[in-house]
Amino acid sequence: MKLFVTGGAGFIGSNFIRYWLKNYPEDSIVNFDKLTYAGNLENLSDIEANSHYTFVKGDICDAAAVNEAMKGSEVVVHFAAETHVDRSILSAAPFIQTNIVGTFVLLEAALAQNIKRFHHISTDEVFGALELGTSAKFNETTPYNPRSPYSASKASSDHLVRSYNITYGLPTTISNCSNNYGPYMFPEKLFALAITHLIEGQKVPVYGDGLYVRDWLYVEDHARAIDRILHDGKVGETYFIGGLVDDISNLDAIKTILKLMGKNEDMLEYVKDRPGHDRRYAVDWSKMQNELGWSPSVTLEEGLQKMIEWYKNNEPWWKSLLAKEKAYFETQYSS
């Protein structure tokens, strides 16, 4: 089988490609990536010589480039997106262009080339926010209620994908995942930011009171879930992928990192809150479990320990990224 993977040089995409080639060594993958600030070919340096792997630099908004690179593929796995909420607040335009227009271009190409499966990676953030202290969780029937330019652009892309299945018969599936974490996570995201700051002896910035709740999914568990959907998922269906059963606040998650790294809570630094910060996300992934036999295999503490060790052993990787984005980090996380 030949897969066309968009955004494969990013955090989740690169972990998926590595997982897929390890478990399906006879398959081939075309990695189509624009290499924005979040795309990094070093993420896949260990497999760049693999004869079953091809990298093509390109923009998913470029129809000619997409159509040429997609030729001969059977499956599209669409990761490529602008994803960082903070950056969408600073400038929404790239999110509209990449996440909406880019998805449209891919759908058109997939339709023209008779792709056998178009799998779209989305987020739980398109469903808005839940109240703290409740047992409510997002599921596949939850109404859309995006609250940031990022989540609004991803909601739009979900609707486009679904419409191409219903209107044109394109065989699509969608997965809405919770917050991923693990190796190769760009250091602007919470856990990677915390770990890299602590390695460098810096305090960890915490938005507001830190009591925001997220569902954390170890990135390899996410790859396993996509595997199940591609092999056994029903065309036209949406699947939720989460990593936790019980709520944990961002503050408590960071305190877990402090504990694992032998640091005290005086390494926390509370900073100005994000505008429109969603209070709580929680994901009901029972459909994945009941229909596809998937469940997360890595606990949060196990995953954080693995992640900490990876960042300790790969300082040149993340230090070069921090240096390139120094101005952004200094502006965004000033106390």
Identify the band that residue 324 occupies on the pLDDT scale cut at 50, 70 and 90.
confident
Closest CA to 81 of 90, 93, 94: 94
Query: Residue 316 burial by CB count (10 A; 0-12/13-18/19+): exposed, middle or buried?
Result: exposed
Q: Is the pLDDT of residue 333 over 70?
A: no
Domains, in order of start, for the chain: 2-184+218-244+281-297 (3.40.50.720)
Q: Is the pLDDT of residue 68 over 80?
A: yes
Identify the band that residue 322 occupies on the pLDDT scale cut at 50, 70 and 90.
confident
Per-chain mean pLDDT for the chain:
95
% of the chain exceeding 70 in pLDDT: 97
Q: At 46, give phi and psi (nearest 5°).
A: -75, -15
Q: Is the pLDDT of residue 63 over 70?
A: yes
- The pLDDT assigned to 184 comes to 97
- Number of other CB atoms surrounding residue 246 within 10 Å: 7
Mean pLDDT value of segment 324-331: 66
Q: Is the pLDDT of residue 335 over 60?
A: no
Q: Which of 24-28, 121-125, 201-205, 320-324 has the lowest mean pLDDT?
A: 320-324
For residue 138, list its beta bridge partners.
283
> Which residues are known catalytic residues?
124-125, 150
Mean pLDDT value of segment 234-249: 96
| DSSP annotation of 234 | P
- Which whole-number Å values give the CA distances from 104 to 8, 116, 173, 186, 220, in the listed order? 18, 17, 15, 26, 28
How far is residue 149's CA from residue 125's CA, in Å, rounded to a whole number? 11
Identify the band that residue 273 occupies on the pLDDT scale cut at 50, 70 and 90.
confident
pTM of the model: 0.94
Q: Is the pLDDT of residue 275 over 90?
A: no
Q: Is the pLDDT of residue 248 over 70?
A: yes
In this structure, what token pair is assigned to residue 210? Answer: 């830190």
Q: Is the pLDDT of residue 84 over 90?
A: no
- The pLDDT assigned to 37 comes to 86
Neighbour order of strands in the sheet with 172-177: 53-57, 28-33, 2-6, 75-78, 117-123, 172-177, 238-241
Secondary structure (3-state) at 279: coil
* Tens-digit pLDDT profile for residues 95-115: 999 999 999 999 999 999 999
In this structure, what token pair is assigned to residue 147? Answer: 């609250």
